[in-house]
Amino acid sequence: MKGFLLIISLTLLSFITFGQVVYEDINNSAIYEFLDELANLKIITLNSAVKPYSRKFITEKLRQAQKACNLTNLPTYQPTNLPTYQLNNRQKKELLFYLQDFQLERNEKDTLAVGERQDQLAEGYKYKLELLSRKRQSLALALNPLGLHYRDRLFTFSLRPILGLQYMVNENGSAFHRWWGGSIFGYIGSNFGFYANLRDNNESVPMAKPEYFTEAQGGVYKYRDDGGVDYSEMRGGIVGSVNWGSLGIMLDRVAWGDNYHGANIFSGKAPAFPYIQLHLNPVKWFDFNYIHGWLNSNVIDSSRSYYTNGEYREVFRNKFMAANMFTFIPWKGLNLSIGNSIIYSDGDLNPLYFIPFLFFNAADAVKNNYSNNAGSNSQLFFNISSRQIKRLHLYISLFIDEWKSSRLLKPDYNNFTSLKAGFSFSDLFHKNISVTAEYTRTQPMTYLHYIPSTTFASNDYSLGNYLRENSQEIYFMVSWRPLRGLLLSGSWTNAVHGDDVPYNYNAGYMVDMIPFIKNKTWQNNSFEFSSRYEFVNNGYFFIQFTNGNRKGDVGFQPEFMHGQTNTLSTGINVGF
């Protein structure tokens, strides 16, 4: 096994001498929303089924939009019959605003923007509201983007602060969440990228326990005597790329499946876990993603646990995951994706699952002689995304844990699936108004498994949709962006959860006959109105009012959020 790991390490080291990639936090929703808007307007193309995006990828898309919308001085040798797309004033300001944040990723051969000088491009970049500058323009202590930034022809580095506060109050009480830390990222030459992000969190009330129905990302909590929790979050990685792909080792969160209110393949809700990622994009019509992750089973291995100096040393069972996603683009704006994953445990790393292109279930069945008890937990998923109609994004995402055609004609039988379908319409009636609608239905048993060490979870957090199995949700949102950086939105959520399955999978029960939401054990009907203003890149104020009616088991949300409530939430965030 050591030799196998050495081979993997040497392969990574040899690969990372060919490119640079740094990934943007999926929590930076503003830039992801803007790219989605550009894609809906058919200004750029986007595979939005797999996140996070790299900063290099985001920069390329912003530059494409800048050129397509004629916001640059195009070289005279370019064809004059290129289509020109129209952005309104707010969208143009958004585009230039985000380009400010991604200056460090710009290639020196990029076309100059209107008003830029050649010496700025050759020596470095001007930062808005620069506080400190040496004789060279390569160093800046800037307010936008906030941080210390350095770039020369060999080395690029950015150090940025992270801090924030959220305060919530309603009829049942109040709660707060505060966080602080810092992030770094950089490149050496044009071939090596690295990033790291650390933040400490304090919550007066834990807001995202594994059993809670919330989109808030989970953490590994340390409980305080006053009922609050402390926890740290660490993200980072080293990644290299060529012009047709990348390979890296990362500690991060992943989100797979098109959505606007919680993905149903990989939701990104579980704490960050380490993984190897391979991304290939050799031609315009094909995109491939693969990860192999080390998950936390939280299942004690009694045979390896032991006492030392009077203390019991707990050793968890090993737990791993491999997953891939093939995306085919037969026509511009239409993405057809198919992928599969497998959770395996109770042993060492298996080189079988380091082969990125496998159908893992078939390989595992042969390896374990088709024994369910000896085998692993596999999944299959599909995603269709269409932006062929301008301004309209149609999508459907299907997660399959177990499926039999014989169940289709039997109304009392269920396949173990999760379906999400929806649309988003940009510039509806007014160029700054968008409408989104989404439906999610997850059958009983979908994310469960009768062997605890192979559940579709890490740190006890489901890797799938935040409502887990035996649930349904209808979501509707209208958003308005009247000014650059300002988002006003109103949404309605109707979510229902049925019985948590109390059955023993191997006790003779017909698990495929568990009724869908026979009893409503929890439901949420809420209206939410929110505003967010991004005053500098990665820095924003927010305020949110929620009229919520949550009924059922109080164990599915913090107690002060239970019942009929009017919750006011406000705060500030700087950095990701």
Q: What is the pTM of this model?
A: 0.90
Q: What is the CA radius of gyration of the chain?
A: 24
Average pLDDT over residues 208-215: 95
pLDDT digits (tens, 9 = 90+) for 1-33: 554 454 454 444 444 444 578 999 999 999 999
Alpha-carbon distances of 470 from 17, 104, 395, 514, 519, rounded to whole Å: 47, 46, 22, 9, 10
Strand ranges, E, within 387-485: 392-402, 416-425, 433-442, 457-458, 461-462, 471-480
In this predicted structure, the answer to whether residue 552 has a pLDDT above a threshold of 80 is yes
> How many Cβ atoms are within 10 Å of 331's Cβ, its own excluded?
10
- Mean pLDDT of all residues in the chain? 87
Non-local (6+) Cβ contacts of 2 within 8 A are: none
Q: pLDDT higher for 144 or 546?
A: 546
In this predicted structure, the answer to whether residue 570 has a pLDDT above a threshold of 90 is yes
Q: Are 233 and 272 in contact (CB under 8 A)?
A: yes
- Helix 55-68, helix 89-101: angle, nearest 10: 140
pLDDT of 243 reads 86
Number of H helices, E strands in the chain: 6, 27
pLDDT interval class at 246 (50, 70, 90): very high
Average pLDDT over residues 349-374: 82
pLDDT of 17 reads 42
Q: What does 62-115 look like in DSSP terms, one character per residue?
A: HHHHHHHTT-B---TTS-TT-------HHHHHHHHHHHHHTGGG--TTSPPBTT
Q: pLDDT higher for 121 or 519?
A: 519
Average pLDDT over residues 528-538: 96
Average pLDDT over residues 453-477: 96
- Report domain extents, the chain: 21-116
pLDDT interval class at 128 (50, 70, 90): low
In this predicted structure, the answer to whether residue 85 has a pLDDT above a threshold of 70 is no
pLDDT digits (tens, 9 = 90+) for 147-179: 999 988 889 999 999 999 999 999 999 999 999
Q: Are 20 and 192 in contact (CB under 8 A)?
A: yes
CA–CA separation, 303 vs 292, rounded Å?
26
Q: pLDDT higher for 504 or 476?
A: 476
**Distance from the first to the final alpha carbon of the chain:** 36
pLDDT of 348 reads 87
pLDDT digits (tens, 9 = 90+) for 318-344: 999 999 999 999 999 999 999 999 999
Q: Is 12 left (phi over 0), alpha (psi -120 to 50) or beta?
A: alpha
In this predicted structure, the answer to whether residue 125 has a pLDDT above a threshold of 70 is no
Average pLDDT over residues 401-408: 89
Q: Taking Cα atoms as reference points, which of 415, 421, 414 lies closest to residue 382?
A: 421
Q: Are 57 and 31 in contact (CB under 8 A)?
A: no
